[in-house]
Chain A
């Protein structure tokens, strides 16, 4: 029954794509119907996913598609149900949001139609990835998802940076897809079949299991944006239209996570603790690298993209812990870390798409995402500003929001390292936990900067000064996600209980102790060790707000009698306050930039002051920062140069002389004759 629901979701997503094609030239109904079908698909996948998650039962079927001797196997179990629910949770608000967001494209049907058509294909591809139960169907769905999202990234193909980003994305997606294919190849080579049941049964020796794990990590890590394979992510996510950016950052990286979990925890099965150490180290490095680069970005959407890199690092850090504990036989702690990682993935899907939608609303209204040209938007866009603030609080992991709950769980898992036998692991896991703490603090700084510069203070450009509040559908899309962030944060026990079923189905262990004290208290290991009650924190906040409101109401009469005088702010007698007197994006992050200055390759353009004639005009020094990814220069640029040089060397045999080509044929013939001999 659930599986039928999921298949209906895929059908509806494809229908959305088809409607977009059929209604080309009638943008109003095209937009409405395509997004309606997409929303219904999202709702269907949400319902099917939650139903599969709550029953914990697996359902399977085969479809007569694909190769003649290899029908498509589909299967819906608790793990795919969970990720299906994530797709639903994000695509539903995305459909609501996209309906309003795409209105600007109404007079450009040549752009609107492919955008809508590929959005439907993209969502269908992701849903099919989750249902696929054989390597063949999985790869088809995976490539469908990658290619559809490539076209979405290339939506604004008239801009050079969009073309560049899209090409880079396509290149990396292919490299990653190749690694995934090889990883399945290793499993299929030993298992003797392509369906997941025979892959699961494949008897791998430790060496081949390690090879398979490494390929899966590289392949899915490319899609997830793990350092050093993240290079495409900060380019591709920002240039897509914002409702797609939200889906890309919120959901597609989760598909990579799903694939990794499916291959490593499910298909390989017997994990080795050393893999966990590798994943832990890569995850911690990714988290720190991502947040440090997010901190110095001056473009809002780029900043959010780097923050996605950071959050995927945190999720993989949790998975690394899970692998270490499982490899050492601590199944309970492994399940704890696993659930914590999944929880963070869910939370990230919610708040990152919320933030991208917020950035999209800003782009929609102020035509700008460059922080140095924004400012003061809270006055003009109060709803968007408030919802964006909720997203910032969630991602900065402040209680009672959801980011705190999941990061706290990962910390709890990391702090149980004392129960391991190996001294090295006991010493190194706390280091990863320390990196996680540093990351969380830097992430908070990043979002204080993003929110403060964009929404507070004075407008830095005419566009920002004249921005207006976004349409209702844009606000509704964000509001759904913001409520979700709050609900997931206030009721973590329910989520952990549901995720326990995934870990029970996959690892054979759930977390009875976490919810042993009812819905009020989350006690991951035991009540004596650590406990957190999000509802109580929320109640405390509500109480404080209620007290403030009571005081405000009580003082209302007094305020009316003696109004508080409002006068212009004191400007030191220097002249009128101007937007240039505020903190800028660069100056806000400068202290931290000084501490970690070795990490970035920053080019600072500083133009000397040009005094203007006349009294009272200050001469301004102009200062601009250009941050380039260090790994691009250290790893990718030499690689690209090497490939080009090799190609040029190969091209030497292409002389253009007819006789030389004939000579090559001649030599080949003689060589073949000799070999034949």
Chain B
């Protein structure tokens, strides 16, 4: 089945899904903390747009609420919270460079291929549109995890974590036409609370080690020290 043969809305959904994945790649490798947060806001916006489109395409009105929630939380509120943190800590020009960007991006590409490979048996049961989308969602999840692993600063790690959540949410919206409303509301609030708690943690970390560099948090180890 070719891309051009799909109905126009579905083509749009796929294009937006690709945008989500592309933004994940950007976030993975971008050295400036400030820009990473902005990219995350863009991802939220694209995600909200996709959700609204799915709601329109599949005539499921409750997805509109999801779209609004996503827009409010992930495109506006959480990025605003994080940016305020950046302001407060005066980290506008601070970098969180990953050590080998080329290798990381290649790994990320391999992960996307791996996800397509993994979802193959599931995708055969599904429609053409969701076949691509489920692989993309999984890739976003894994890229989020990769970001968690490769980043050094607490702020960018939180962005990685939120990206991971974006992937899960996207999978729920695109493949199953959204989870029940109660569950989605619950998750939205969880994410909100998590963002607030992370903010508190940043303050504490900052106060105790005078930096947000988590690679310095390594004293709690079960290994005997020689």
Contacts and interface: CB of A to CB of B under 8 A. Distances in A.
Interface of A: 648, 651-652, 654-659, 662-663, 665-666, 669-670, 673-674, 676-677
Contacts of A666: 142, 145-146, 148-149
A419 to B, nearest CB: 62
Contacts of B138: 673
A673 B112 CA distance: 13
B59 interface: no
B219 interface: yes
Contacts of B214: 658-659
B221 interface: yes
Given A665-B145, A666-B145, A655 B221 contact: yes
Given A648-B224, A662-B149, 16 more contacts: A651-B223, A655-B223, A656-B218, A658-B214, A658-B218, A659-B152, A662-B145, A663-B149, A666-B145, A669-B142, A669-B145, A670-B114, A670-B142, A673-B114, A674-B114, A677-B120
B92 interface: no
B220 interface: yes
B210 interface: no
26 contacts: A648-B223, A648-B224, A651-B223, A655-B221, A655-B223, A656-B218, A656-B219, A656-B222, A657-B215, A657-B217, A657-B218, A658-B218, A659-B151, A659-B152, A659-B214, A663-B149, A665-B145, A666-B145, A666-B146, A666-B148, A669-B145, A670-B114, A673-B138, A674-B114, A677-B117, A677-B120
Q: Which of B138, B150, B221 counts the most chain A CB atoms within 10 A?
A: B221
Contacts of A670: 111, 114, 142
Interface string B108-142: 00010011011011000000000000000010001
Residue of B111, B118, B152 ringed by the most chain A CB atoms within 10 A: B118
A654 B145 contact: no
Contacts of A655: 218, 221, 223
A547 B220 CA distance: 83
A192 to B, nearest CB: 39
Interface in B185-226: 214-215, 217-224
Contact of B149 (A654, A656, A659, A673): A659
DSSP majority for the B interface? helix
B117 A654 contact: no
A677 B121 contact: yes
Contacts of B221: 654-656
Q: Name, among A652, A657, A665, the residue most crowded by chain B CB atoms within 10 Å (CB to CB).
A: A657
Nearest to A644: B224
Nearest to A661: B149
Interface string B143-162: 00110111110000000000
A656 B120 CA distance: 37
A677 B218 contact: no
B208 to A, nearest CB: 15
Given A674-B118, A676-B118, A652 B148 contact: no
A200 B164 CA distance: 58
B223 A659 contact: no
Nearest 4 A/B pairs, CB to CB: A656-B221, A651-B223, A656-B218, A654-B222
Nearest to B217: A658
Contacts of A673: 114-115, 118, 138
A673 B218 CA distance: 29
Nearest to A676: B118
A652 B142 CA distance: 26
Contacts of A663: 149
Contact of B215 (A651, A659, A665): A659
A655 to B, nearest CB: 6
A658 B151 CA distance: 11
Nearest to A657: B218
B224 A651 contact: yes
Contacts of A654: 221-223
A175 B87 CA distance: 60
Contacts of B114: 670, 673-674
Contacts of A659: 148-152, 214-215
A669 B148 CA distance: 14
A670 B142 CA distance: 8
Contacts of B218: 655-658
A666 B118 CA distance: 15
Contacts of B120: 677
Contacts of B151: 659
Interface string B21-49: 00000000000000000000000000000
A673 B120 CA distance: 12
Contacts of B121: 677
Contacts of A652: 223
Nearest to B214: A658
Nearest to A648: B224
Contacts of A669: 142, 145
Contacts of A662: 145, 148-149
Residue among B111, B222, B223 with the highest chain A CB neighbour number at 10 A: B223
A615 B202 CA distance: 83
A617 B222 CA distance: 60
A536 B220 CA distance: 77
Contacts of B148: 659, 662, 666
B118 to A, nearest CB: 5
A677 B114 CA distance: 10
B140 to A, nearest CB: 14
B223 A656 contact: yes
A648 B224 CA distance: 7
A657 B217 CA distance: 7
A662 B145 CA distance: 8
Contacts of B150: 659
Contact of B222 (A651, A658, A676, A677): A651
A670 B139 CA distance: 11
B150 to A, nearest CB: 8
A665 B144 CA distance: 13
Contacts of A656: 217-223
Nearest to B120: A677
Contacts of A677: 117-118, 120-121
B128 to A, nearest CB: 20
A414 B219 CA distance: 66
Contacts of B152: 659
A658 B223 CA distance: 14
A283 to B, nearest CB: 42
Among B117, B146, B149, B222, the most chain A Cβ lie within 10 Å of the Cβ of B149
A673 B138 CA distance: 10
B193 to A, nearest CB: 21
Contacts of B220: 656
Contacts of B219: 656
Contacts of B115: 673
Nearest to A664: B149
A677 to B, nearest CB: 5
A645 B215 CA distance: 28
A356 B219 CA distance: 52
A431 B147 CA distance: 73
Contacts of B142: 666, 669-670
